[in-house]
Structure 1
Amino acid sequence: MSTPKQVIVIGAGIIGASIAWHLVKAGARVTVITDSETGGIATPNSFAWINASFGNPEPYFRLRKRAMAEWNRLAKDLPGIPLTWCGSLCWDMPAAELEAYAAEHSSWGYGISRVDREQAARIEPNLVGLPGFALHVAEEGVAEPVSATRALLADAERHGARITAATVTALVETDGRISGVDTSHGLLSADEVVIAAGVGSPDIAATAGIKLPIETPPGLIVHSRPYKKLLNGLVLAERLHMRQTAEGRIIAGADFGGADPGDDADATAGALFAAMKAMLRDADGLELDFHTVGYRPTPIDGFPIIGRAEGADGLYVAVMHSGITLAPAVGLFAAREILDGERDPLLKPYGLARFAQ
């Protein structure tokens, strides 16, 4: 019987947690290293929309659609994971663009319905100022990000993973291969190292001479105090995206990535919350609790970086903005590639080598 592969996963956000969980389930010995609270930096500040929606070329749509299916598989394998297929109601672009998006994605097999004002009111009866035309996608949903991450890490730990609080100071190279990491608590060795540290990934990769071309735009999201149920699903209105969480908070950003906080984040948050409240019926008692500013790890071409780093054997990279949607598929595909050398065809466009071309 072969010795289980030892893998270090750097990062305890939704991507790192999913990769760790899938690796452990496949028989690897896994250590997760995190220097922050569960969920990391980007995950707790996510809008947490699971979708294969507009703005995606077909190959990326196919990856995201597969990831949506993998959320259902993950929910069966890990009962209690906070997943809801609540649907979305969208009118955040001109009608002609909405029509073009609906026609294109419908031809790819996405379940988009065109709805008028009366139909939209039945879907979201507490919205004020509904448009005459919107799109409804019943198959889209949300996963409460921190709770989902905690569930993955806790189950991974139950199956033998180690969760270590430490700061990674450098990747360690031995005989031309990444052989572990140097941390604030000392050296750790492994057969493979996975960088899934979100906004912290470029600095870690740079210690091995690897450049990750990533931007980290900020996104401000407002969070209400828990309130009675006002929203059934995701609402994607012009300059205002919002949803109600499992604990009853209504969260909103200027789009799903959040608002630009500007020079005065408190003022931006106040204006955004006022716009959200004005759009809701029976919201007189709704109160702003807090706002968050998250920094999204976004590769410069907008698409994920998933795969082994060329010129650095033993190193795997998984960094992306669409972490909530992609997490279960990335975890599954990464585990297969790390342990069996099998790269899923859906990942073909998303290797790091594309930036060298």
Structure 2
Amino acid sequence: MSAVVVVGAGIVGSSVAYHLARRGVPVALLEQGPAPATGVTGDSFAWVRGSGGHWPGGAQDLHEYVLADYQRLVAELPHFTVRRTGSLSWAHTPSDNSRPGPGQFLIGPSDIAALEPNLRHPPDQAIHTPSDAGVDPTALTHALVAAAGAHGATVLHDTAATSLQVTNGRVEGVVTSTGLHAATTVVLTAGTNVPRLCEPLSADPAIAASPATLARVTAPPGLVKTIVASPYFEVREVREGDLLMVVPHVEGAAALERSAQDALQYMKATFQGSDQCRLLDYHTGRRPMPVHGPVIGYATDDRSVYVAVMHSAITLAPTVGRLIADELVTGRPASELQRCRPHADTASQRH
């Protein structure tokens, strides 16, 4: 029996398992796929926002810790790196650009060209956020899982959670495709599957699902220097010669193919030296989108079930994993998570 069973080896579950194992807690990490990050994590654009962006509900209370927690993971995890490239964002016309927030700067064509020298026609102005970064979400998740295992965690793949084991009103483990995994606490981090698993508890985490399509593009190394958010696409270099691009999502296979090809053509028209760029593949994932911001905390009064679902999970996972582990180990609630609770007043979460 493990003290804690974590359901879902995406970025959030892997972070929770790693931070628990590092503190000596017996933990089992269950993943329905053949490897970590085979779900929505692997389909993430993985834009780590240090400033700016939309921080709904309790996410506002977490974002100030994001960059420091990522820097800590760089020191703790072998071979893990963060691409601190900064970001450039511009709208259709200069008047449409939002005013820069803290840590952001409104810059003109010469500064834009210095940051992105391959732009054919730099816009009149753009918002530059120097602290923004990108990560390889699959590589990070694998690194967290490997480190969790090195600290004693049990990691089980091809182990789909089908239901919670409830005895006399208390959850005592997880029923899976490979059998029962007993635990004193179950942590549910399985994204859009969390509401289904919570049904016997009469709990509704209010988690919607939003489709997002990403395309992988082969390109000359260094073609894109920063994270670029234009009116027609978002693109960044994940590793040398490998670009990740956000494609406008549309329904239907043929329409989605056209959308991916159109985004590639916009990208080629934007960057000189992009003639050799080729679309490798594209894929649509269903991101969990909690209605009022991150949902993090105990779902039962007896503290046998804990849920952790959020957007953007890639940005928040290192911070959230640290805070959840501290709550489970010490029994003390983390003040930073106060507005993320499953039973928190939803009106207060909106502000």
TM-score, normalized by length of structure 2?
A: 0.92
Equivalent pairs, count: 342
Residue number in structure 2 paired with 1:115: 107
**One-letter amino acid of the counterpart of residue 89, structure 1:** L
Residue number in structure 2 paired with 1:329: 319
**One-letter amino acid of the counterpart of residue 288, structure 2:** P
Unaligned runs of 5+ in 1: none
1:222 aligns with 2:215: yes
Per-residue CA deviation, residues 97-142 of structure 1 (Å, 9 max, x unaligned), is 6453x1xx32xxxx21221011100000112232111111111101
Conserved? CA contact 1:41–1:198, under 8 Å: no
**One-letter amino acid of the counterpart of residue 261, structure 1:** V
Per-residue CA deviation, residues 285-313 of structure 1 (Å, 9 max, x unaligned), is 11111001111010123x11111114453
Per-residue CA deviation, residues 313-355 of structure 1 (Å, 9 max, x unaligned), is 3111001120110010000000011121222222111111136
Per-residue CA deviation, residues 36-93 of structure 1 (Å, 9 max, x unaligned), is 1310311111110001423336963441121221111111111321311110011137
2 CA distance for matches of 1:95 and 1:339? 50
Residue number in structure 2 paired with 1:147: 139
1:131 aligns with 2:146: no
**One-letter amino acid of the counterpart of residue 314, structure 1:** S
Conserved? CA contact 1:273–1:288, under 8 Å: yes
1:169 aligns with 2:162: yes
Provide the alpha-carbon RMSD of the alignment.
2.0
Conserved? CA contact 2:48–2:133, under 8 Å: yes
Q: Aligned pair in 2 of structure 1 residues 191, 310: CA closer, same or farther (>3 Å)?
A: closer
Secondary structure in structure 1 of the residue aligned to 2:296: strand
**One-letter amino acid of the counterpart of residue 267, structure 2:** M
2 CA distance for matches of 1:226 and 1:54? 27
What is the CA distance between 1:96 and its match in structure 2?
5.2
Residue number in structure 2 paired with 1:23: 20
Residue number in structure 2 paired with 1:53: 52
Per-residue CA deviation, residues 2-29 of structure 1 (Å, 9 max, x unaligned), is xx97110000000000000000001101
Conserved? CA contact 1:5–1:339, under 8 Å: no
2 CA distance for matches of 1:240 and 1:339? 43
Q: Aligned pair in 2 of structure 1 residues 134, 356: CA closer, same or farther (>3 Å)?
A: closer
The partner residue of 2:206 within 191, 201, 213 is: 213
What is the CA distance between 1:238 and its match in structure 2?
1.3
Q: Aligned pair in 2 of structure 1 residues 343, 262: CA closer, same or farther (>3 Å)?
A: same
1:260 aligns with 2:258: no
1 CA distance for matches of 2:38 and 2:328? 23
2 CA distance for matches of 1:77 and 1:91? 35
1:317 aligns with 2:317: no
1:186 aligns with 2:179: yes
Conserved? CA contact 2:84–2:131, under 8 Å: yes
Secondary structure in structure 2 of the residue aligned to 1:354: coil
Q: Aligned pair in 2 of structure 1 residues 59, 164: CA closer, same or farther (>3 Å)?
A: closer
1 CA distance for matches of 2:153 and 2:59? 31
Secondary structure in structure 1 of the residue aligned to 2:38: coil
2 CA distance for matches of 1:324 and 1:92? 24
Conserved? CA contact 2:6–2:187, under 8 Å: yes
Unaligned runs of 5+ in 2: none
TM-score, normalized by length of structure 1?
A: 0.90
1:243 aligns with 2:236: yes
What is the CA distance between 1:227 and its match in structure 2?
3.2
Q: Which runs of 4+ in 1 moved over 4 A?
A: 93-97
Residue number in structure 2 paired with 1:40: 38
**One-letter amino acid of the counterpart of residue 324, structure 2:** A
